[in-house]
Chain A
Amino acid sequence: MFAAASGMAAQQTQLEVIADNLANADVAGFKEAAATFADVRAGSLGLGTAQVGKHPVFAQGKLMKSGGPFDVAIDGPGFFVVERGGERAYTRNGEFARDADGALRNAQGWALHGVQIPSDALAVHVASDGRVSVDTPAGKDRAIAQLRLASFASAEGLRPLGATLFGASDASGSPRLFTPGAHGAPSIAFGMLERSNVSIVESMMQILGAQRAYEANAKGVQAADEMLRIANNLQRG
């Protein structure tokens, strides 16, 4: 009975993970997660299943033209470095907007590290090597900053801080900053956003599977319960 109950719990976890993926399917830079399960046994006795891990899947999402004047995307591995109130975080969501103080901030108020747009800037460009330049009344294409991306020894060890935001942790190692655009290295795509790597069709299929598996496990609990009931009533026949 407990084996079946552990199966129900596992399918519930599975549903939660998939639902979270689906909920963020439209969020730029979102990375889907996958839960892993393994069987639990004591000698030859099967005790059901247990969740052993949950991994973000850092596979590249498709880049799409967004039209946002400050949108950037990373083509390849790596993270944007953002900061808020002295705290640093890492994200692949490149949906930024220009703030009154000249910083490029995302919807949660995290500013792209090291970039300060002058107040007289008419347009901003970001080259594939991360060079940020602006057009001002005084002149065109004036370089103002160099974007650097962060990489980690183990990106999967990053601490999730939100849908698309991560913090460095012991498991991930400390960030290593690098300049994009070198040969074979990740590059920056300006005016583009990275779509989430969630496949809606696949997630829907997973939901159906998890739901049916949940029901089947419930049947197992029911059957075990029924057997106990019969055994308890043996005296009465």
Chain B
Amino acid sequence: MGSAMRAARAQLEVATHNLANVASDGYRRAAARVALTARGLTVSARTVADQGGIRQTGRPFDLALLGEGAFRVGDEVMRGGAFTRDRDGWLVDDRGRRLRGACGPLRVSAEARIAPDGTVHDHGRIVDRLPLPRGTRIQAGALESSTVNAVDETLAILTAQRAFETAQKTLVAIDATRQKAVNDVVRLK
């Protein structure tokens, strides 16, 4: 029963992490998967690749991905596309990492535009391209909202809480049975 309580606890952690990121643009919700193994219940979390809603922001270098794929920033990849053009023309994310196109970090003028196919247009010329998987498009001036649904996660929290209580009640019942077995059954008159 200990593993059931641990599993409920892990499910709660997945749900609260999701819920905390309901406002994180580009965040993809994690789904908890509970499996019965020889060691009892185990919980693993995997990222669900749903498409988030697209929200217009009015900032020219906010980019939203429609379809699979991710933005390459520095050595990492991410779905969130809130980029800013810094004073030297580099497109940087909120942590200051530079957005990379096919030919390296992007450096553009303030008038540059990013087309739906990922090509970067600057002063009427194509200067670079954001590598995208087939079928994926980019929408500039918009962000992809988090895929977390607050209602689903609240429900998951309640479910985990009840599962924890059930496991605890069962544990107490098992404990009582054992107590009886140890103290009463072998008691010799």
**B74 interface residue (CB < 8 Å to A):** no
Within 8 A of A (CB), among B13-66: 13-27, 30, 45, 57-59
Within 8 A of B (CB), among A141-156: 152-154, 156
The minimal Cβ–Cβ distance linking A114 to chain B, given in whole angstroms, is 24
Q: In the assembled complex, which residues on chain B have CB atoms less than 8 Å from the CB atom of A39? A: 17, 20-21, 24, 27
The answer to whether B21 touches A48 (Cβ under 8 A) is yes
Q: In the assembled complex, which residues on chain B have CB atoms less than 8 Å from the CB atom of A41? A: 17
**A121 interface residue (CB < 8 Å to B):** no
Q: In the assembled complex, which residues on chain A have CB atoms less than 8 Å from the CB atom of B89? A: 153
Q: Looking at the complex, which one of A3, A173, A216 makes contact with B87 (CB distance below 8 Å)? A: A173
The answer to whether B161 touches A227 (Cβ under 8 A) is yes
**A122 interface residue (CB < 8 Å to B):** no
- A-B interface contact total, Cβ < 8 Å: 152
The minimal Cβ–Cβ distance linking A94 to chain B, given in whole angstroms, is 20
With A52-B95, A57-B59 known as contacts, the answer to whether A154 contacts B157 (CB < 8 A) is no
The answer to whether B22 touches A172 (Cβ under 8 A) is no
Q: Looking at the complex, which one of A1, A7, A237 makes contact with B175 (CB distance below 8 Å)? A: A237
The answer to whether A3 touches B165 (Cβ under 8 A) is no
The answer to whether A46 touches B30 (Cβ under 8 A) is yes
The answer to whether A36 touches B80 (Cβ under 8 A) is yes
The answer to whether B21 touches A37 (Cβ under 8 A) is yes
Q: Can you name the residue of chain B whose Cβ is closest to the Cβ of A151? A: B110
Q: In the assembled complex, which residues on chain B have CB atoms less than 8 Å from the CB atom of A53? A: 82, 84, 94
The minimal Cβ–Cβ distance linking A25 to chain B, given in whole angstroms, is 15
The minimal Cβ–Cβ distance linking B97 to chain A, given in whole angstroms, is 11
With A223-B158, A227-B9, A231-B5 known as contacts, the answer to whether A55 contacts B82 (CB < 8 A) is yes
Q: Can you name the residue of chain A whose Cβ is closest to the Cβ of B45? A: A44
With A223-B158, A227-B164 known as contacts, the answer to whether A48 contacts B20 (CB < 8 A) is yes
Q: A39-B20, A213-B19, A223-B157 are in contact. List 13 more A-B contacts (CB 8 A).
A: A10-B24, A34-B57, A37-B21, A38-B25, A39-B17, A46-B30, A46-B45, A157-B87, A173-B87, A217-B19, A220-B157, A227-B8, A230-B164
Q: List 16 A-B contacts (CB under 8 A).
A: A3-B19, A7-B19, A36-B80, A36-B94, A39-B24, A48-B16, A48-B21, A152-B87, A153-B86, A153-B110, A154-B84, A156-B85, A171-B87, A217-B20, A234-B171, A237-B176
